[in-house]
Amino acid sequence: MLLTETAPPPGAQRLAELRATARTARRRAFVALSAAIALLTTAQLLADRAQTDEQTLPLAVLSLAIFMTAVPVLVATQYVWGAHARLVRLRERELYAVTPSARTRPLSRLAVACGWAVTLLLGWTEPHFFHEAALYAFADSLRWAAEALAVVSLAAGVLFVIWWARDAVGMLARAARSGGSPGDPWDPGHGARPREGAALWTGAAVAVAALVGARAHLWEPGTAVIYALLTAALVCGVVTGE
């Protein structure tokens, strides 16, 4: 009997389901991260171009609301992603005694960390917009909160760098000692997954990078271009899962 005609070994089908769930959680985490940066950057770009205090205030409030909503959403989506990824690694150890090399895991974690850094940097500029809207007392209070957030963020960043470096070195050491998981013939695995969403992810990344570059005053796009970039970032991110 051919191998493809035999029943999957115990646990293989469940492992395939766990991998699919983890991939979905990862996609949602990256969609939330890219959408948060795109929305926050767009709101701040429009607020920065407002001509009067009355025009600046609603955009400043919108920017602050996006930031305060984005932080818990990012925490939740990335926690779910991490929880499912841990389940996959645990199941792989149970079935194969070792886990796959997961060469892209350090890169994905570094990408998430960079996304967090951009989001927090944008959040630290929130007091500026309320100062421009002539809400000086609120801007001063917000500046104090931003300074406290900056201290906490820098401490978290140092801890992340230490943890990331230790984990990356550990993965390299394990890869040198072992050939990794023998694989599962009933599951596509990491190397055979379809890559149709690669172009869409690239488009979303380029659009978000262009918005961040405009926010950093590296270039000065028109308002219509800003809206087009925002639309491209959101559409490309959402369509990756369709």
How do the domains of the chain map onto residue ranges? 10-191
Which backbone phi and psi does 220 adopt, to 5 degrees?
-125, 80
Plot region of 180 (φ>0 → left; ψ -120 to 50 → alpha; else → beta): left
Instruction: Give the distance from CA 66 to its chain's centroid.
Output: 16
- pLDDT tens digits, residue range 5-34? 556 666 777 888 888 899 899 999 999 999
| Crossing angle (nearest 10°) for helices 105-124 and 53-96 | 160
Q: What value does the mean pLDDT take over residues 187-207?
A: 70
Q: Which pLDDT score is estimated for 1?
A: 46
| Owner of token pair 């087009």 | 228
pTM of the model: 0.87
Closest by CA to 205, choosing from 174, 237, 182, is 237
pLDDT exceeds 70 at position 97:
no
Q: Which pLDDT score is estimated for 17?
A: 86
- pLDDT: is 220 or 187 the higher one? 220
Q: What value does the mean pLDDT take over residues 194-216?
A: 86
Closest by CA to 236, choosing from 35, 63, 84, 76, is 35
